[in-house]
Structure 1
Amino acid sequence: MEITFYYRTNFPAKPYESLYRKIGKRTEEVLQLDKHKEISVTFVRSRTIHRINRDYRQIDRPTDVLSFAIQDGEEKVDMNDLGDVFINVDYAVRQAKEYGHSEKREFCFLFAHGLLHCLGYDHMKPEDEKEMFVIQNQLLEGIADRK
């Protein structure tokens, strides 16, 4: 999986690049994806993600992660470009403290969560949420464990 990184903040997020590549590789293995998938990750602050959330989703508040899948809807098309993930560094740092785990875990969780959304997973129904969270844990195991 090819991951392109964009930095719209001066937060030192570069160390997460190698971890995200490991998660991408694990995703290929767990979900049996071809290795030609592409995704972008943009690190932003609360103000920027708030604006994106408002303008594109009509939700007037910041959030921790946003995903914009290239393929949206029920019909599955074999595309290599999966979409874009925006990670709010302010929320990631705050949530790591609130949840009592490392920033590494939180940043990796947010990426895995956004990546799965770009792959068509969601958590609107309890059974879908369970499936998505089982896969997320598989993707993070040994890379960004809870403790």
Structure 2
Amino acid sequence: RQVYGRDYDTDTITLAYSAPEDQAVSADMYISYDQIRDNAARYGEPYLRELHRVLIHSLLHALGFDDQTPETKQDMHRREDACLETVLKR
């Protein structure tokens, strides 16, 4: 609520400090393991799969992607799914 002015629980908050032209990524990522557990149960997903999805989501934000419009949200989900499948193949 203090960071984004929203009055609901979230699974992750990413504070990205890098500019798109920077060579390195700088960000703070805050992860709520309790919220991830709740989301996993709500969506019928294994906990570790949901944890990986949230970590990927946070990394995408750190890299400069956003999900503020329906189009960018759809793009984020597509990227999350692609990354998640790659990670889970290991």
| Band the TM-score falls in, shorter-chain normalisation | 0.7 to 0.9
Q: Where in structure 2 are the equivalents of 1:96-115 lying within 5 Å?
A: 96-115=40-59
Give the RMSD, CA atoms, in angstroms: 2.0
Give the unaligned 5+ runs of structure 1.
1-52
Given the two structures, how large is their TM-score scaled by the length of structure 2?
A: 0.83
The structure 2 residue matched to 1:71, chosen from 4, 11, 18, is 18
Give the unaligned 5+ runs of structure 2.
none
Mapped to 2, the partners of 1:89 and 1:101 lie a distance apart of 14
Instruction: Give the paired residue count.
Output: 89
Amino acid at match of 1:127: E
Mapped to 2, the partners of 1:107 and 1:144 lie a distance apart of 12
Measured after TM superposition, the shift of residue 84 of structure 1 is 1.4
Structure 1 residues 21-56: Cα deviation after superposition (integer angstroms, max 9, x where no partner):
xxxxxxxxxxxxxxxxxxxxxxxxxxxxxxxx42x3
Contact 1:64 1:91 in 2 (8 A): yes
Given the two structures, how large is their TM-score scaled by the length of structure 1?
A: 0.54
Higher strand share goes to which structure? 1
Mapped to 1, the partners of 2:65 and 2:27 lie a distance apart of 13
Q: Where in structure 2 are the equivalents of 1:92-131 lying within 5 Å?
A: 92-131=36-75
